[in-house]
């Protein structure tokens, strides 16, 4: 194995284990989980190794089948993609450990296909990140989306209805992206990202390219559930099995954001998009409205999953706001927030799943007294909630800080105000739960009285995420200077 093959090992080992898991699972049901975990672990190690190598010696290129670009398909592992790959795979790894008990309890008879599909989902997500080919992104996007439709469709009676809406909107998004890629191909005759970026400056007046950029951004806005395209998201997150949601919620929408960042940095140049087109301004204003709307909707919810789903809508809008600002500090904020939000939301949905596992409850008003019954779970929840609100030692503060700096840099004081107001709104809906959980007197509720912390295999990933929230907050300066600043340096 040579270093050059690292980019391709990440998705391919996952694809391979998709089949191995299914075959082993059909033979012996118990083998599905260890096999799936092995696949994720191999990719995780490859991606961590990749990140270290990339930081030391620059991007790694791999040409599939030995065809050099622009003719062949190229896989690239550079700072940004290695960074994203590590996020995706570490969250996937922790969720995989977590999901075992939760699946055994909620959907015991569907474990084998579920694990294969989850591996396929992760393979698709990591494939999007490592590929350097525009059409390949579409293929991996559809691999990830199709398996996401399938895994979220396994759920209670209402899940299929939510998912059919997700399929329709997701497919429109993918089709718009495909149209955009088609127009780029018509204009440049190339599908390789680096090659297109090389050819585009000569064509900057072409209307075809303008249309292509608009289509790609619209397509990705649909995929990442940017306000007002978020209508599919709350239902899907609410009705899917809680083990599945710990995969889908932190990762699926982030990858849409990644594609937009990738397009911005490596294909279209930000000056071009921001200068000739109002599309980025539109994105940032939609995001600003979405932040407020999502937070207000979250306050109105009584179901914990639904509240977290609306909060996701608001949080992805932070990322979109950072992208829409299209200046280096804003982009750093967006990328840092992708990382932080993946960790925070992973933690919160795991806590929600844990509460469900022990008590069978989703309904927030009935949570009174849980703080004493489930100290570890609610401790993790408290840490994640503090980070979501953005109180300094936790990670959430720093990404918001960069977003505020980016807005100031763009001279847009309205965005600064919006970020501050939304932090207050976040505080309202998270502290409401904390107050219920810790301060409310315990009522005599059989579900609460018998509640205990979930088993260790669920608790360990939850605590790991909670601790990493604090750690990420403390070491955020290291991440920013070593990983994120080189990424944006190319454009500034």
Partner 1 sequence: MGIWGMFVKRNLMKKLIGMTIFQVAIILLFISSAVKFGGTIPTFDPSIGATDPTLYVNPLPHVLMLTAIVVMVATSGVALAILLIIYRRYHTLDEQEIIKRMRE
- Residues making contact with partner 1 (CB under 8 A): 135, 138-139, 142, 146, 149-150, 153, 157-158, 160-161, 163-164, 167-168, 171-172, 174-175, 178-179, 182, 185-186, 191
Q: Which is nearer to partner 1, 168 or 414 (CB)?
A: 168
Partnered with residue 192 across adjacent β-strands are 133
DSSP 392: T
In contact, 62 and 110? CB cutoff 8 Å: no
In contact, 313 and 304? CB cutoff 8 Å: no
CB of 169 to partner 1, least distance (A): 9
Q: Which is nearer to partner 1, 174 or 226 (CB)?
A: 174
Q: How many CB atoms lie within 10 A of CB 323?
A: 29
Q: Any residues with CB less than 8 A from the CB of 303 and at least 6 apart, and which?
A: 238, 362, 363, 364
CB of 262 to partner 1, least distance (A): 19
Q: Which is nearer to partner 1, 182 or 379 (CB)?
A: 182
Q: Which is nearer to partner 1, 170 or 396 (CB)?
A: 170
Q: Which is nearer to partner 1, 128 or 146 (CB)?
A: 146
How far apart are the two ends of the chain, measured CA to CA in Å? Answer: 36
CB of 329 to partner 1, least distance (A): 37
CB of 185 to partner 1, least distance (A): 7
Closest CA to 51 of 484, 491, 452: 484
Q: Which is nearer to partner 1, 218 or 462 (CB)?
A: 218
Q: What are phi and psi of 76, to 5 degrees?
A: -120, 135
In contact, 129 and 46? CB cutoff 8 Å: no
Closest CA to 139 of 115, 92, 176, 174: 174
Q: Which is nearer to partner 1, 166 or 430 (CB)?
A: 166
In contact, 225 and 218? CB cutoff 8 Å: no
CB of 66 to partner 1, least distance (A): 18
Q: What is the DSSP string of 269-296?
A: -HHHHHHH-SHHHHHHHHHHHHHHHHHH
Q: Which is nearer to partner 1, 174 or 351 (CB)?
A: 174
**Rounded CA separation 351/454 (Å):** 10
CB of 81 to partner 1, least distance (A): 22
CB of 196 to partner 1, least distance (A): 14
CB of 182 to partner 1, least distance (A): 5
**Residue 45 burial (CB < 10 Å; 0-12/13-18/19+)?**
middle
Q: Which is nearer to partner 1, 185 or 431 (CB)?
A: 185
**Rounded CA separation 419/22 (Å):** 45
C-alpha dihedral over 196, 198, 204, 207, to 10 degrees?
-10
CB of 321 to partner 1, least distance (A): 27
């Amino acid at each position: 194995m040579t270093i050059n093959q690292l980019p391709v090992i990440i998705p391919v080992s996952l694809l391979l284990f998709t089949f191995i898991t299914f075959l082993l699972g059909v033979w012996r049901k118990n083998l599905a989980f260890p096999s799936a975990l092995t696949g994720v672990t191999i990719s995780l190690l490859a991606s961590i190794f990749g990140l270290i190598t990339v930081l030391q010696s620059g991007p790694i290129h791999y040409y599939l089948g030995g065809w050099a670009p622009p003719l062949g398909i190229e896989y690239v592992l550079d700072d940004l993609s290695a960074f994203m790959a590590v996020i995706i795979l570490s969250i996937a790894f922790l969720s995989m450990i977590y999901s075992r008990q939760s699946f055994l309890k909620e959907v015991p008879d569907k474990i084998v296909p579920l694990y294969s599909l989850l591996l396929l989902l992760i393979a698709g997500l990591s494939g999007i990140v490592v590929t350097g080919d525009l059409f390949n992104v579409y293929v991996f996007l559809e691999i990830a989306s199709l398996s996401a439709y399938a895994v979220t469709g396994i759920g209670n009676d209402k899940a299929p209805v939510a998912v059919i809406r997700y399929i329709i909107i997701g497919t429109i998004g993918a089709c718009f992206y495909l149209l955009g890629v088609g127009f780029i191909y018509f204009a440049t005759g190339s599908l390789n990202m680096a090659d297109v970026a090389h050819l585009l400056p000569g064509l900057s007046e072409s209307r075809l390219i303008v249309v292509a950029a608009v289509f790609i951004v619209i397509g990705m806005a649909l995929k990442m559930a940017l306000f007002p395209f978020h209508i599919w998201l709350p239902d899907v997150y609410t009705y899917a099995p809680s083990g599945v949601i710990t995969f889908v919620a932190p990762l699926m929408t982030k990858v849409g954001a990644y594609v937009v960042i990738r397009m911005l940095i490596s294909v279209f140049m930000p000056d071009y998009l921001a200068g000739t087109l109002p599309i980025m301004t539109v994105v940032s204003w939609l995001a600003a409205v979405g932040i407020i709307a999502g937070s207000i909707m979250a306050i109105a919810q009584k179901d914990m999953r639904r509240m977290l789903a609306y909060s996701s809508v608001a949080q992805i809008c932070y990322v979109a706001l950072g992208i829409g600002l299209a200046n280096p500090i804003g982009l750093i904020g967006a990328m840092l927030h992708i990382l932080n939000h993946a960790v925070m939301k992973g933690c919160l949905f795991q806590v929600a799943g844990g509460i469900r596992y022990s008590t069978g409850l989703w309904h927030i008003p009935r949570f009174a007294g849980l703080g004493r019954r489930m100290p570890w779970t609610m401790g993790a929840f408290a840490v994640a909630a503090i980070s979501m609100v953005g109180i300094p030692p936790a990670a959430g503060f720093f990404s918001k800080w960069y977003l505020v700096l980016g807005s100031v840099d763009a001279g847009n004081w309205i965005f600064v105000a919006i970020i501050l107001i939304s932090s207050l709104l976040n505080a309202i809906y998270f502290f409401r739960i904390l107050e219920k959980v810790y301060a409310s007197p315990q009522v005599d509720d059989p579900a609460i009285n018998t509640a205990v912390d979930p088993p260790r295999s669920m608790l360990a990933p939850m605590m790991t995420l909670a601790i990493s929230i604090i750690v990420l907050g403390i070491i955020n300066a290291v991440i920013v200077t070593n990983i994120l600043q080189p990424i944006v340096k190319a454009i500034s």
